A and B are shown apart, each in its own frame.
Chain A
Amino acid sequence: MRTLLQLREHRVLAAMFLSGVAGIILLRVFDPATSGVFPPCPVRYLTGLYCPGCGSLRALHALLHGDLRRALAMNPMMVVTLPFVTYGLVSAALAELRGKGVPQVMLPASWIRALCAAIILFAIARNLPFHPFNLLAPGALLHP
């Protein structure tokens, strides 16, 4: 009963956890590049431009199969930020579950603004149609 109550309290967390696990299983089994299981990036679909997240699913699929080179070619930003995002998610989940006692890292505001600028610049750079920026397009490094 107590666990059920706890589950109700943390139902957002439980839903996120379950969808995360389901997503990892789907990403391991199906290749986003060839199967229709995953929806296309809406930005790419509507405008034909790459967004900063384009290639993320293919990068995760490659990582789940141990192919770091392919993952980096698909979306280097995704691969670089993944450890930090994972730490942040675990940290947030523990804070939600245990309340106090979980240290949170406080980044200076200027760092976050710099990160935001980096994401926007990455999005612009990977759409430029000339060398070396065109290598940032998803998968471009695999077929130079």
Chain B
Amino acid sequence: MFCVQCGANNADTAMVCVQCGRNLQPNAPVPLPAPGVVLPPGMTVQNYLVFAILATVFCCPATGIPAIIYAAQVNGKLQMGDPAGAKAASDNAKMWCWISLGVGVAITVLYFMLILLGVLSGLHSS
């Protein structure tokens, strides 16, 4: 199937175009000038990209990067017409976001506990 927006050749089962991201479903909304596309509500699979980026920046890059890679996989699998695979990648992206949040919160709590410990030991010795 050829994309009506950019002409790229896509798999017949593809839900979005591999090249420009245009929705290839028959009842898709009008094309957008931008390379992004607006999927009809309910058809999209949450990719948690925003949370993955926030996790990378604020919590822990080591666990945030896998979340971003899974977010890319969600969109890639949607492009290839594999909603089940997209859902699995989505669950993984979500899991890594929660892991990042957990690591971030744990380190923050640990940091403030160490400060408290330092203050208390300072009081004790003086």
Task: List A residues at the B interface (Cβ < 8 Å).
Answer: 36, 39-40, 42-43, 51-53, 56, 77-78, 81, 84-85, 88-89, 92, 95, 99-109, 111-113, 115-116, 119-120, 123
Contact B57–A106 (Cβ < 8 Å): no
Q: How far is the CA of A115 from the CA of B78 in the complex (A)?
A: 19
Residues of B within 8 A of A95 (CB): 41
Indicate whether B11 reaches chain A with its CB closer than 8 angstroms.
no
- Contact of A42 (CB < 8 Å), options: B46, B60, B65, B78: B60
Contact B75–A120 (Cβ < 8 Å): no
Contact A43–B58 (Cβ < 8 Å): no
Contact B57–A112 (Cβ < 8 Å): no
Tally chain B residues at the interface, Cβ within 8 Å: 42
Q: How far is the CA of A81 from the CA of B50 in the complex (A)?
A: 10
Contact B21–A106 (Cβ < 8 Å): yes
Q: How far is the CA of A111 from the CA of B47 in the complex (A)?
A: 13
> Secondary structure of the A side of the interface?
helix
Contact B35–A108 (Cβ < 8 Å): yes
* A3 smallest CB distance to B (angstroms): 24
> Which partner residue on chain A sits nearest B44 by CB separation?
A104
* B20 smallest CB distance to A (angstroms): 7
Given contact pairs A105-B36, A116-B69, A40 touches B111 in the complex (Cβ within 8 A)? yes
* B43 smallest CB distance to A (angstroms): 10
The residue among A99, A107, A120 with the most chain B CB atoms within 10 A of its own CB is A107
Q: How far is the CA of A95 from the CA of B69 in the complex (A)?
A: 23
* A27 smallest CB distance to B (angstroms): 12
